[in-house]
Structure 1
Amino acid sequence: VLSPQEQQDYKFALKALKKHGVDLRTAAKDFAESCKVLKGNHVLESARYFARRNLHAMPSVSVKKAAQDIINHTEKDLYQKLLKAHLPPFAEAFNCNLKSVTAPDINQYLKDLKLAPRTKKNVRDCIRALMRHSVKQGWLPKDHDVMDDVTTFSKSVTGEIEVFTHAEMSAILTAADEHLIPFLTIGAFGGMRNSEIGRLDWNQIDLAGGFIEVKAGQAKTRSRRLIPILDNLKAWLTPLARREGPVAVRKMDNQYQRLSKASGVEWKRNVLRHSFISYRIALIHDINQVANECGNSPEVIHTNYREVVRPAEAKKWFAISPDVSEKIASLSEVSQT
């Protein structure tokens, strides 16, 4: 027998669901399943994120259809062979709508594959190509950046996460034009994603207060967060600070090759963020804090970044300042002559 309060709650639930044409049993079942998928009661937050990304207005295309489409539109035989090898199994594992595939889903898929790092890299590259193709086809939004949080893999067997050494980073900063410095240093010493830096405005950088504000609409996770401005990052940004305006130049991808050639340092995928997380973990030994600063989950941080570098190397990394960078670069030039 329902209590008076339970009867009132029951009537309220029926009334709230009636205008949506959903019965109470279905609503309860879907809610419970959603909580299970989201690992907690994040249904409303996820729905708002879904709406903000305008995903409800995107066409419903299955992973299988998208995979077949990119294969059919690929003319290079070797590349098409690679796509044919890796995308059908991915489509079979994700028998769902393309826009519902998330970074944690892809990470788990890659983790479960019994393959060498080099082969996993090929699989990841194929999935990334699929996502980019789907954006061009209008099946995913233009700012779709789900792959930013997918684990990267090295061609070598030495490890999955690649970072710059403090000497390499110093050489890159010395070779970089002034207008590239904010992007490079915020990534390397603040850990922001490339896509987030691309949306960042100078009015969100509080040098006096010591924080960079990442607004919910700019963040990959759509959650607002504050990133501490460490001492060496402040030293790089202070001379360049402006009241407002875009922090980063557009199309940074075009700059990587030039920087690599000018500095003599090979560029690596997502290397600025990977370096920050790896060195930050080694320095403070607090996975939860680093996860909060980077807008990532503690599980991903623990799995991918723990024990990648040594604490002594971390101290050198966060000691890179404009003066130190020039000195290290000069010593590097002398050693090569």
Structure 2
Amino acid sequence: MAKITKRYCEGRKSPYQLFWIEDGVRHSRFFETEEARDDFLRLNGHLDKRSFEALMGIDENTISDISYIESIRGNVSFRDMWEFWAKNHKTKRVLTLWDACDEYLRDMRKTEKAKPEHIRHVRRVLEVLVESFGDRLLQDISRKELENWLKSLKFAPVTVKNWRSNITAAWNWFEKNELIEKNIAKGLELPKIEMGEIGILTVEETERLFRANEKIDPEVCGLMALGLFAGMRTSAIPRVDYNEITMRQGILTPAEKTKKNRRNYIENLPDNLWAWLERTPKSAFGWCERKWKKRRESALRRAGLLVNGKQIKTPDENGKFPQKRIPPHNAFRHSFASYHVAWKRDFQDTALIMSHKGTDILFKHYRGVATKEDAERYFKIYPTGYNIY
């Protein structure tokens, strides 16, 4: 057995020495630091184990593995194979879905790549997912299981599609951070989305809404006008700042306030929108979303356009029950699109105002919903006493 000896040679530039005898030949190495010497010894520890006794200490499984590798390695040395493995091998972290989702949400908050409200939405989605798979190892969850889980959700197809997007984004992050080898969430099968007939407010209902509130709550009238006469999304309306409005010209929405994180400027808006905005107090801009929804709800109720759950179960004096959806879902934005298409007969103009990529949706779902005559009446709904030039 080769015996390795350590020495310290004072006065040398590299004073830390190792020497040993191998096959009758004396070998010696010098190192500048003791750490470098010990690292060399650790990497070449086989030098003091070249004995028959050491070989006899190898178990049968190891000998079998060595024999198999020997039969297939060809001209590649054992050292080359080891160095390649050490360079390319990465220890995989094995996490449960619960732990992986927790790390994903923490990273979203830390990097601030998403808005707080989006992070809250993603958390709600993942919480439901974790209820089904939380204790399972992330790598053991199959694509088929995710598809069946999505199909089991009791939501509208559009909502299921949104949830799939959030699940896919999470699995993208898992793959990027090497928690899984492959993103099984890409292209998950979904139920076919068929958009039903859109619901809008009639011209009479729209006018009644403004007349019932213009004296009592001029603030909410201005914000409702942004939806009904500019087609803004309900969620975007309370985020509009007064300084972002250039009267009689256009409205700027900075990138951080838009759904797609893109700066948006809309112009060529109808005259009656400016008439309502000009009489809107500045205090109306900058409301929180909750305040906006409550004030809008009160405005609809004053005009007799809101039916709540209790009213649905209560018949009126004639014994009739109210209809369920008053107003229809997204009625403000749908009303603007329908009447603007009928009024201008220019799909591209309407698409630009509504920030649509193209005109396909407008042509498919909004064409023919309203007449040109109704559209002209709709965009002539001005504040009482307003002088139209």
- Which band: TM-score by shorter chain? 0.5 to 0.7
2:230 alignment counterpart: 190
Q: Tell me whether 1:169 sits opposite 2:206 in the alignment.
A: yes
CA distance in 1 between partners of 2:131 and 2:334 (Å): 29
- Which 10-residue stretch deviates more, 209-218 or 308-317? 209-218
1:201 alignment counterpart: 241
Give the alignment of 1:90-129 within 5 angstroms.
Answer: 90=160, 96-97=168-169, 112-113=192-193
- Which 10-residue stretch deviates more, 220-229 or 63-72? 63-72
**Higher Cα radius of gyration:** 2
- Aligned CA distance change for structure 1 residues 70 and 229 (closer, same or farther; 3 Å): farther
How far off is 1:316 after superposition? 0.8
CA distance in 1 between partners of 2:114 and 2:269 (Å): 29
Give the alignment of 1:116-265 within 5 angstroms.
Answer: 153=196, 159=197, 161-176=198-213, 177-207=217-247, 209-223=248-262, 224-240=264-280, 242=282, 246=285, 248=287, 250-251=289-290, 252-265=292-305
Asked whether the 8 Å contact 1:282–1:307 carries over to 2, the reply is yes
How far off is 1:324 after superposition? 7.8
Q: Where does structure 2 lack aligned partners over 5 or more consecutive residues?
A: 1-110, 134-150, 173-185, 306-325
Q: Tell me whether 1:271 sits opposite 2:331 in the alignment.
A: yes
Asked whether the 8 Å contact 1:225–1:295 carries over to 2, the reply is no
- Aligned CA distance change for structure 1 residues 280 and 93 (closer, same or farther; 3 Å): same
Q: Post-superposition, which runs of at least 4 consecutive aligned residues in structure 1 deviate over 6 A?
A: 61-64, 91-95
Asked whether the 8 Å contact 1:191–1:276 carries over to 2, the reply is yes
Asked whether the 8 Å contact 2:342–2:368 carries over to 1, the reply is yes
How far off is 1:86 after superposition? 3.4
Is the partner of 1:276 in helix, strand or coil? helix
1:31 alignment counterpart: none
The one-letter code sitting in structure 2 at the alignment partner of 1:287 is F
Taking structure 2 as the reference length, the TM-score comes to 0.46
CA distance in 2 between partners of 1:190 and 1:305 (Å): 16
CA distance in 2 between partners of 1:180 and 1:99 (Å): 42
2:142 alignment counterpart: none
Superposed CA offset, 1:269-322 (max 9, x none): 211111001111111122222111111232332232222111111111101011
Superposed CA offset, 1:107-133 (max 9, x none): x956x25xxxxxx7xxxxxxxxxxxxx
Identity %: 21
The one-letter code sitting in structure 2 at the alignment partner of 1:309 is A
The one-letter code sitting in structure 2 at the alignment partner of 1:314 is A
Larger strand fraction of residues: 2
How far off is 1:66 after superposition? 5.0
How far off is 1:256 after superposition? 4.1
How far off is 1:67 after superposition? 4.4
CA distance in 1 between partners of 2:205 and 2:258 (Å): 28
Taking structure 1 as the reference length, the TM-score comes to 0.52
How far off is 1:85 after superposition? 5.3
Is the partner of 1:226 in helix, strand or coil? strand
Superposed CA offset, 1:248-280 (max 9, x none): 564222234433331112322211111001111
Asked whether the 8 Å contact 1:196–1:218 carries over to 2, the reply is yes
CA distance in 2 between partners of 1:314 and 1:196 (Å): 24
How far off is 1:218 after superposition? 1.5
CA distance in 2 between partners of 1:282 and 1:190 (Å): 15
- Whose relative contact order is higher, 1 or 2, with alpha carbons under 8 Å and at least 6 apart? 1
Asked whether the 8 Å contact 2:244–2:252 carries over to 1, the reply is yes
Larger helix fraction of residues: 1
CA distance in 1 between partners of 2:256 and 2:125 (Å): 30
- Aligned CA distance change for structure 1 residues 222 and 300 (closer, same or farther; 3 Å): farther
CA distance in 2 between partners of 1:231 and 1:198 (Å): 21
Asked whether the 8 Å contact 1:162–1:268 carries over to 2, the reply is yes
1:321 alignment counterpart: 382
CA distance in 2 between partners of 1:247 and 1:310 (Å): 35
Asked whether the 8 Å contact 1:162–1:274 carries over to 2, the reply is yes
- Aligned CA distance change for structure 1 residues 250 and 67 (closer, same or farther; 3 Å): closer
Give the alignment of 1:69-108 within 5 angstroms.
Answer: 69=130, 84=152, 86=154, 90=160, 96-97=168-169
How far off is 1:246 after superposition? 2.3
CA distance in 2 between partners of 1:175 and 1:249 (Å): 23
Q: Where does structure 1 lack aligned partners over 5 or more consecutive residues?
A: 1-49, 73-82, 114-119, 121-150, 154-158, 326-337
Q: Number of matched residues? A: 215
CA distance in 2 between partners of 1:88 and 1:250 (Å): 24
